[in-house]
Amino acid sequence: MRDKITRASSEPNTPFIPYHSPLALFRSYRFHPQFRDAIQGGLKSLTYSGKIDLEVEVCPFELDGQECPNGASCQYQHFQSMVARGKRMPQSPSDMLTPGTLPPLGSLTRRSFFPSDDQILVDLGRSDDFTGEQKARFVQGLKGELQKFRNEKVRDFNTIAFGIIDYRRRFLGDGSKVLSHLEGVSL
């Protein structure tokens, strides 16, 4: 017995590392029950509300602090397209350093660089993950949920946003199911 105690205490201690779900890498993690507590910035975080396309490179002209000469025909992603159309977005990384390109520092607000609340709500209610009859049922049920908010005169962003998320969870029948487009896939 004494031998076991000595051996156990001589093994190196490994630090505790908290678990981080690989689902947090997906934009759909917004729908996970732990999202509210796990993600600083919540639904207004650009990580989860932005429109960054991981498959498309950022325009080298914009990365270099220049205006893109190719306009709409450019094959690359631009900073303006990464935001779900908020109030004001830096046009390039140098905008954050170049005097006069942004409003005075004291006038900047969180809304200056982030999607509007309405844009986030519309995005949360998208039915793109569903098809056919399932899509029709989702849209009909969501309309009912939103009508309840209107009838109760609810205007609070978080109440409505998490109401949409809760409806989606109930609709799918599984609170942890965040990647609904994998319906029918088994491992």
Model pLDDT for residues 124-183, shown as the tens digit of each residue = 898 888 889 999 999 999 999 999 999 999 999 999 999 999 999 899 887 777 765 555
- Residue that is last in its domain, among 114, 134, 159: 114
Decide: 144 and 125 in contact? Cβ < 8 Å: no
Q: Which residue has the higher pLDDT, 12 or 110?
A: 12
DSSP state of 26: S
Would residue 99 count as lying in a domain? yes
Would residue 5 count as lying in a domain? no
My answer on whether 45 and 123 are in the same domain is yes
Model pTM score? 0.60
Overall domain count for the chain: 2
SS3 per residue for 74-128: CCCECHHHHCCCCCCCCCCHHHHCCCCCCCCHHHCCHHHCCCCHHHHHHHHCCCC
Query: Which structural domain, as residue segments, surrounds residue 66?
Result: 51-114
Tokens found for residue 4: 């076991």
Would residue 104 count as lying in a domain? yes
- Residue that is last in its domain, among 98, 114, 130: 114
Give the separation between CA 35 and CA 165, rounded to whole angstroms.
Answer: 11
My answer on whether 62 and 39 are in the same domain is no
Give the separation between CA 21 and CA 34, rounded to whole angstroms.
Answer: 10
My answer on whether 126 and 91 are in the same domain is no
My answer on whether 148 and 61 are in the same domain is no
- Residue that is last in its domain, among 114, 131, 151: 114
